[in-house]
A = this chain, B = another copy of it.
Amino acid sequence: MEIPSLLVQKAVDEIAQLPGIGRRSALRLVLHLLRQPTDFSERLSGAIATLRQQIRYCTTCHNISDDDQCTICANPLRERNVICVVEDIRDVMAIEATGQFKGLYHVLGGKIAPMDGIGPQQLTIDALVARVQEENINEIIFALSSTMEGDTTNYYIYKKLSALRLRFSAISRGIGIGDELEYADELTLGRSIRQRIPFEMSMKS
């Protein structure tokens, strides 16, 4: 279908480059923008432009931040000798929402994925190594997703740091609390069985 306006065409082209938004959805969004008051489009385009121009990253953990230090690194109440290694800000937010972790984070910015041209140099791994060497860290928790890329990245970092006296751990994997066994995938359920924990421990929380 041909769009009878270059302006609309251009907006659709740009919006359709976003992940998960096809050309049809993009056109629907454009028509929605045209039905809204002008200041809605101005606020939206302004927020997008400002975001990319002014975004900053915490110089310690590389989390997204409005200051040199993110609110977590700057918080004197956090335990400063445990670092949880995650992929991006959404993982930080998800773990923070549990209220179960009081240490610090390190945001890698992705996973090692040679097929996508992402090597260790594209991630913040060197900064993590420097951080562990300079500061008094005694535990690294791996919390990347358990895909081949995630496992590769974990192992790469582990190798880089294994000479240091550190405890390494990984978040536990298993079927979700409240999930039915019969609907769990075999890999997950298999791991839940192999990595079973003492019953007394399972009663806590």
Contacts and interface: CB of A to CB of B under 8 A. Distances in A.
Interface of A: 1-8, 10-11, 13-15, 17-20, 24-25, 27-35, 38, 40-55, 63-66, 70-72, 88-90, 92-94, 96-97, 109-110, 182
A80 B82 CA distance: 75
A133 B70 CA distance: 66
* Interface of A, helix, strand, loop or mixed by DSSP: helix
A30 B90 CA distance: 11
Contacts of A8: 51, 55, 64, 89
Given A4-B93, A18-B29, A93-B3, A48 B48 contact: yes
A13 B52 CA distance: 15
A94 B1 contact: yes
A50 B14 CA distance: 12
A88 B31 CA distance: 9
